[in-house]
Each structure stands twice: as C-alpha cells, then as structure tokens.
Amino acid sequence: MRVGIPKVLNIWSTHQFWVGFLTALGISPENIVFSSDTSEDQYREYGKGRGTVDCCYPVKCMSGHYGELIFGQKKKIDILLSPMIYSLPSFLRGHVLDTLTCTRVMAGPENIKAGFLKERDVFAENGIRYVSPFVSLGEPEKVPKQLHLALKDVLDLSEEETVRAVEAGYRALETFNQRMRQKSREILTWCARHDRPCILVLARPYHMDPGIGHEIEAELQAHGFPILWMQYFPIDEDLMHWLFGEEIRAGRIKSPFDISDVWPSSYSSNTNEILWGAKVAARCPWITCVIRFSSYECGMDQPTYTPTQKIVEASGTLYFKFGDLDATKPAGSIKIRVETIVHYVEKYSRDIIRRKLAALPPRCPLLEDAASTSESAPLAA
Amino acid sequence: METIQRINHYTAYRPRPFTREERATVTILFGGLTWKHERLIQGVMHNLGYRAQPLPNITRADLDAGKELIDVGACCPTIFTTGNLVNFLKSEVAALGRDEVVKRYVFLTAGACGPCRFGQYHESYTMALDGLGLRDFRLFLLAQNQLDQGATHGGGLEINLPLSLGLIWAILCADVLTDLEYMTRPYEVVPGETDRVMRESIEYLYDVFRRRPQEKLQGGKLKVFAWHVLTDYFTDALREVRKRWDTIRVDRLQVKPKVKITGEFWLQTHEGDGNYNIKRWLEQEGAEVIPPPIAVWLDYLLHSPITSEEWKGAERNRKKIALIRALEHIYHFVYNRFRRALGNLPYELPDQEELKQLAKPYYHYELRGGEGHMLVGKALYAYRHKKAHMICELSPYSCMPNTMSIGAMANVLGRYPDLLYAPIEIKGDAEVHALSRCQMILTEAKRRAQAEFEDALAKTGLTVEAIRRYEERYPEVQRSTYRIPHYGYAGTAANYVMHLARKMR
C-alpha cells in the first residue's frame, strides 16, 4: 500500500503528524510518498489544464502536486491523501480565540480535486483512491473520529487502531517541533554569546517550499546571517519570561502567547503566529531584522501588513517585506533587495541589539546557556 | 537611521468607552446592508432609545477613498465599506470639526466570523481612522452569532434580546418585502410603481418597528422571545403593506429569465455601485432577479453548530441539538408567518439539510468561511427544483472562500453541463468586463425562458390573445400580489400560462 501526500499548504507544518500516523498503521516510511517541492516545471508537466479557478499560487500549484503523484511516480501510489485541515495544533492554542486555517487552505482539496473530476474521474482511471479527510488537528479529541470516518474503508481501520495512530502522529509532530525549537535556541544562544544578529522569517509554513518562498532566506544566510523561522522559535519558559515577563506583570498581556494587545481577532492560526512572531522579533535583541513573505493575493496576510510592520519597527528592528510572491522567482530583484538588507543589517545591528537589551531584564537565559555550552557554528532552523 | 531611545511597543486600536449617559447625544452609525434593511434596523434602534443612522449608500467614490487608506490587496467589500465610513467622516469633519465628530458618532459593525478575513474588517477600519487622524473615533464590533452579548465597553450599547430580536425581525421583514419587490418590478405595467410602493412600505414598517410596544420588551428573556414569535404585531403590519402592493398591476406574459443571485454575503446583498448595481442591470437586460435573503445566512448560522454538537455525541449535546432544531423550527415558523402575511409570495427558505446534502459530493459542509457549502448547495437547489434559469454568483476579487467554491463548481458543471452558472468577479472598477461576462450566459437563459414559455403554450393550447382576454375579464390575476404556483417551470411567464390554463378549464 503506497500513500501519496501532496506537499502543500499546511502539510508543511503537519507532515510529521501524517508520517507518524501512517507509520503507526503499519505503512512503511518508504511507502509514504510526498510530492516534490513546488516548481514551474511540476505545474507545467502535471497540473496544466487542471486548474479550475485563478487564486493564490500556494493553492493553485496543488494541481501540479496532485498530477505528479498520479502520473509522475515510477511506483504507482494506491491512495492520494489530501487532508482538509480545518484547524492547527498551534502553540498559541488556548491563548487566542482559535487556531483555524485559512479558508482557501482548508478548502483547497475540494477545489483542486474538481480539476481531476470535471471531465472524467482521473483518480479512478489510474487506480488511485482519492481520500480527503476533514480534520481539525487543533482539536485532538475530534481527530480519531474524523480520520476513522474518512479512512476506515480505505485502510480497513478499527476505531482503536485509529486512536493509537493519531496519538503516534501527535507524538511525532511534537518531537519534531521540539527538536526544531531546540535548534533555534542553539542559534540564538550562539548569537547572544557572540553578540551577532540573526534574521527572523515571518511567513506561512508553505513559504518553506523553495518553489513558493523562492529561498530568499537562503540568499541572506549565504551572507553569514543565521536564519530563524518564526514557527520554530524556542518557546521555553525562561526565554518567554525574559522577553514578556514585565508586560505580564504590568497587565498588558496574560501570558507570553497572548496577542490580544496587537491582534484582537485572533482566529487564524498562521496569522496569529505571524503576529506573535512579530512581537518576539520586536523584543528579542539578536533578531535585528525581519523578513516577511507573502504570496500574491493572500487574503489572510493582507490585513496584517501594517500591524506586523508597526510591531516590528516599534523597537527599531529592521523590517523588509517580500510581497506578492508568485510562481516565477524574481531572481534579479531578490538579489538587489538582499544586498540592501545585508547593508542595513551590517550597519545597524549592533545598535539595535544594544537598545533592545537595555529594555529587557539583565539576566538573559540565552547567555546562561552560552556559559554552559561549547562554541559551535550556527545552523539555519 | 534615527536612534530610538525608548521602546513603546505597538498596541492595537482600543475604543474608549461609549457610556450609557451618551446615548442621548451620540449617534450609532452602521451600514453594509440594503437601504430597506437599514431603515428598519434604524426603527429598532430608535425604538430602544438609541440615536442611529445608516451610512449613505455605497458609491464608486468610496472605493477610491478606501484604496487610499488601507493595505493593498483587500477584497472589494472591505475597500468599499471602509471608504464609505471614511467619506462620511470626512464630510462630517468638514461640517462639524474633528472633535465634534469624535464626540458625536460611534460606528457599529459586524465581526467575529472565524476563518475568513471578514472577521478582520475592523483592522481596515482602524487603519483608515489612523489615516484620517481619527484614532479616538469609536468603533464597536457586533458578533453575528450571539443574541445576548451584554453591554459594549462603557454600557452605551446593550446587545440584548430586545435589540437582537428586533434586528432579526427587521431583517426578515425587509427580506420578504425585497422578494416581493424583485418579483414585481420586472413585470410592472406603470414604470416606477414598485419603487414607490416599496418606499412607502418601508417607511410604514420603520414606524412599526419604532413603535414596538415597550411593555413587551420588558421582563424575562423567555417572555420577550415568546412575544416576538407569537404576536400579530408584525404580521398585521405586513398584511397592511400587502394592501399597498395590491394596487400594482403587472404583465406576467413578458418572458423573462429568472436569475438567482448567490455569492459573498456583502456583494450579493448590496444594491448599488459596490456590485455594479447588477440586480438592476439584470432587470434592465430583461431578467427577473431572485435576490438573496439575509434570512438564509442567519439560518445557516443557526444550523451550523448542529454538526459540531453531533461530533461530541453525549447526552448533553443531544439536548443542545434538540434545542437548536427547535429554534430552527421557530425561526422558519416566524419567516413563514411573514410570508403568509404577504400572500405566500416571498420564496420559502431552502432546507439547510438539503443544501448540505446537495453540496456534499463537491464541498464539505464543515468548511467554514464565507457561505461555505451553501454556494454549491444553492446552485444545485435552484437547478434541481427549477427555481431559476441561471445562477449569478457574485464574488469579490481575491475572496478566499468564494474562489474555492467556484473551483468546486467545475466538478458540478461536469456532472450538470446544462446548469447555467455565471461566477462574476467584482473588483469595483471593472464593470464592463463583469457585466459582459454575465450577459453571455444571460443570452442562453433568455433562450431557455422563451422555450419554456412556448412549451407551456403548446402544452395548454393557449394563445397569448386568449390569455389577454381572460385578464380583461379577471383583472385580479394581474395584481402583483396574485400568487402564481410553481408548475415545474423556472420562468414566471410559463408558470402563469399553466396556472391560467387550469383556471380557464
């Protein structure tokens, strides 16, 4: 049994859940197939003519991913699993109004499958079962029932098996997230110890896809600046307390993950995290620069542009936005902008770090980390 | 770069309180619906002692004003409604001065929609207020799914049952009247009669809502609720309104395609520049429009929690489901009472369960945002029940949920290739493109309406001349309030022929 999963949208932040879940059901890892990174070639070869509507590229490119899994596998897949993820298991859950996904993201599979069914059933013609469970990953208590309902006939599942597999999925996801946050902490510690700046990426999970985010952050990393992704920023109590403790004591916020001071309508998971990331960037001394990615026609990002920039710049932190990202990589303009960013980061980071440090309590847990760890080169998280 | 010495972290907009004492002097601004709905809502607010005023109807100039002040990439409803507030405040500042405007007005808008950015509209409003230098202007949000939300910050506005039920009843009354309006105007014999009677009817109903008996709004919640459900106060008023509509003479032998409007909530509801005045334009092009009642949206909000309660499965949840179903029955009961008061002319509400089942193979009913599965469900409902020749879906440029359901409709159209479906993307400034696209599909809808009409004549053996002679003898069939039953045709003219054939037998 081979299961193909289109590597799109919120699969970028939940892939470990799906691997853990399927593996627990006895599907070996080599039979869990993710589609490739997004590319124009992928869309041209496998997705062309399958689109049903013009919309943002992260959704539109899904046709190419579906097509690659159907037509582009040496060893055929049996199941195409494209979950409709309604909510996310965000670290902000419980501190915000909700952790829902974007309406396009959750409904993307319904849209894309139409392109493979409108004339004839392409899945059936290729001997593939198309499965698209509606799943509220933000509400773990609902997930076993949702996945059992959607997959019981396809994978011959019992309820008990599903419950166990879901637990395994969440464990895998949590383990992965913790490992990534630990990596980020190591980078921050290195920055603190060496008084060096790093750059925080504020973006949606799918901007990690080189075909969507166009690897802009990698260009900056090549100039020697460590890169952190907001999704994997360390959320350890000591660090959070250092960054937000005074504001909690002053009653401005209830917890380090409370964003009601900057974003009252906190329904959307990725949006909430972007706003929280902006708050972290405004406070964490070694984040001297933020780069914001946004795809063309992103309706969820649109109302956040100004608040995010204002949050970051309130502390003098540098802010650069790469908006309207689409299928084509604008390599020339990226190069010019990267040079500009590098110039500013080199010129102002020292001053930014000093100023932000002055606004925080004296005992930095990262510097305490540094005292207890040996020197090592930073890695991108 | 300027060195920042102190760090003042950014905080979001927070309105200063609107106090109870200010009620007599502060006007609550609101908008976003049709002038009919807004006038009746104003009646409800006046009835409860609030000063309230709808914003002027949307114009093209509002789009320009909105674009200047909010982040790029907003959907056109956000731009229009923000620009509408901006232009109103600008004119008031010019007339009264900044401080007086800040003191004299507050703005109330809907919020809290969940995944769609509709719930974040207020971010655009506050950005615009910043741009106008009016950050101390007060803006409050009204959640759509709670009848009793208590007092707003400061207690100036109390969102309680008398207010919420008043608002819902006002919306339902405006909805049923709007149905009547759109089924009458295309056939009116004297041009302008429908609009005149509509204006009179709304003014009359405004007064009915303004004079809602105070003693019936006091006491326990159950008592207030029961009075609204059971009273003849509103149905008597609608019966009075019906008498005014009796005077309008219509010619139903004009063959017109029926076009059902669906789409994003604001765009489909709006009547004006915000959607290129498309409903009026369709009428000018020879169509009969089926307007989208807000009542369907409220029904959807009421029905949706059933699914999440079903998931939980416990006894407590089953009780909650039973309560929701009871409320649904009451809601339909009230709507149908209003319909009956208008001679059963307004369209019945579609069954939410049926919409869900129709859409199920194409669009999951738990996908929230915008109208969810309803856009697919409504299109199939109209097609299956022969309620319309054509569906015109109004979608704002870059609308997130709508683009998904339009995409899913490709699958529906694959199965039902003769379903006439016109998804119209509305940007606010690309009128010719949108209308010409609609016109292409309308041409086929016209052909179908004509074919139906001829089929009805052939089936019944009637001629237009014979029908005319009958109309002369029985002029009551030409009253706008004369009900024509549905005989399986979408078009009014074809059903009219079938009906008269039975009467003439």
pLDDT digits (tens, 9 = 90+) for B51-94: 999 999 999 999 999 999 988 888 888 899 999 999 999 999 99
What pLDDT is stored for residue B124 in this prediction? 84
Determine the distance in angstroms separating the CA of A157 from the nearest CA of chain B, rounded to an integer: 19
pLDDT at A377 over 70: no
Contact B71 A302 (CB under 8 A): yes
Looking at residues A282-311, what average pLDDT do you find?
Answer: 94
What pLDDT is stored for residue A381 in this prediction? 45
Cβ–Cβ contact A53 with B under 8 A? yes
Q: Do residues A247 and A262 touch, judged by C-beta distance below 8 A?
A: no
Cβ–Cβ contact A306 with B under 8 A? yes
pLDDT at A274 over 90: yes
* Minimum Cα–Cα distance from A144: chain B residue: B311
What pLDDT is stored for residue B219 in this prediction? 85
pLDDT at B145 over 60: no
pLDDT digits (tens, 9 = 90+) for B407-458: 999 999 999 999 999 999 998 888 898 999 999 999 999 999 999 999 999 9
pLDDT at B115 over 80: no
pLDDT digits (tens, 9 = 90+) for A246-273: 999 999 999 999 999 999 889 999 999 9
pLDDT at B361 over 80: yes
Which residue from B183, B172, B154 is spatially nearest to B40, judged by alpha carbons?
B172
pLDDT at B179 over 90: yes
pLDDT at A210 over 70: yes
Determine the distance in angstroms separating the CA of A88 from the nearest CA of chain B, rounded to an integer: 12
What pLDDT is stored for residue B5 in this prediction? 58
Cross-strand pairs, B157: none
Q: How many Å apart are CA A307 and CA B11, to the nearest integer?
A: 9
Kindly report the average pLDDT of chain A as a whole number: 94
Cβ–Cβ contact B417 with A under 8 A? no
CB pairs under 8 A between A and B: 173
- Using CB atoms, which residue from A53, A98, A261 is nearest to B407? A53
Looking at residues A37-66, what average pLDDT do you find?
Answer: 92
- Token pair 């906190």: residue: A266
What pLDDT is stored for residue A380 in this prediction? 46
Q: How many Å apart are CA B219 and CA A14, to the nearest integer?
A: 52
For residue A213, the number of C-alpha atoms closer than 13 Å in the C-beta half-sphere is 24
pLDDT over 70 percentage in chain B:
96
pLDDT over 90 percentage in chain A:
90
pLDDT digits (tens, 9 = 90+) for B31-55: 999 999 999 999 999 999 999 999 9
Determine the distance in angstroms separating the CA of A3 from the nearest CA of chain B, rounded to an integer: 22
Cβ–Cβ contact A308 with B under 8 A? no
What pLDDT is stored for residue B402 in this prediction? 87
pLDDT at B207 over 90: yes
Contacts of B122 in chain A (CB under 8 A): 264-265
Cβ–Cβ contact B25 with A under 8 A? no
Determine the distance in angstroms separating the CA of B316 from the nearest CA of chain A, rounded to an integer: 17
Contact A265 B362 (CB under 8 A): no
Q: How many Å apart are CA A195 and CA B149, to the nearest integer?
A: 51
pLDDT at B1 over 50: no
Kindly report the backbone phi and psi dihedral angles of residue A140, in degrees, each rounded to the nearest multiple of 5, phi listed first. Answer: -55, -30
List, in order, residues 6 or more apart from B432 with CB less than 8 Å away. Answer: none
- Lowest mean pLDDT across A217-221, B164-168, B400-404: B400-404
ipTM of the complex model? 0.91
What pLDDT is stored for residue B152 in this prediction? 67
A 229-248 residues with CB below 8 A of B? Answer: 247
Contacts of A359 in chain B (CB under 8 A): 6-7
Q: How many Å apart are CA B461 and CA B458, to the nearest integer?
A: 5
The residue ranking higher by pLDDT, B306 or B112, is B306
- Lowest mean pLDDT across B11-20, B95-104, B135-144, B237-246: B135-144
What pLDDT is stored for residue A154 in this prediction? 93
Of chain B, the end-to-end C-alpha distance in Å amounts to: 90
Looking at residues A131-152, what average pLDDT do you find?
Answer: 95
pLDDT band for B296, please (50, 70, 90 cuts).
very high
DSSP B275-331: GTTHHHHHHHTT-EEE---HHHHHHHHHHTHHHHHHHH-SHHHHHHHHHHHHHHHHH
Determine the distance in angstroms separating the CA of B311 from the nearest CA of chain A, rounded to an integer: 7
pLDDT digits (tens, 9 = 90+) for A150-169: 999 999 999 999 999 999 99
- Using CB atoms, which residue from A86, A103, A118 is nearest to B400? A103
Which residue from A268, A60, A300 is spatially nearest to B406, judged by alpha carbons?
A60
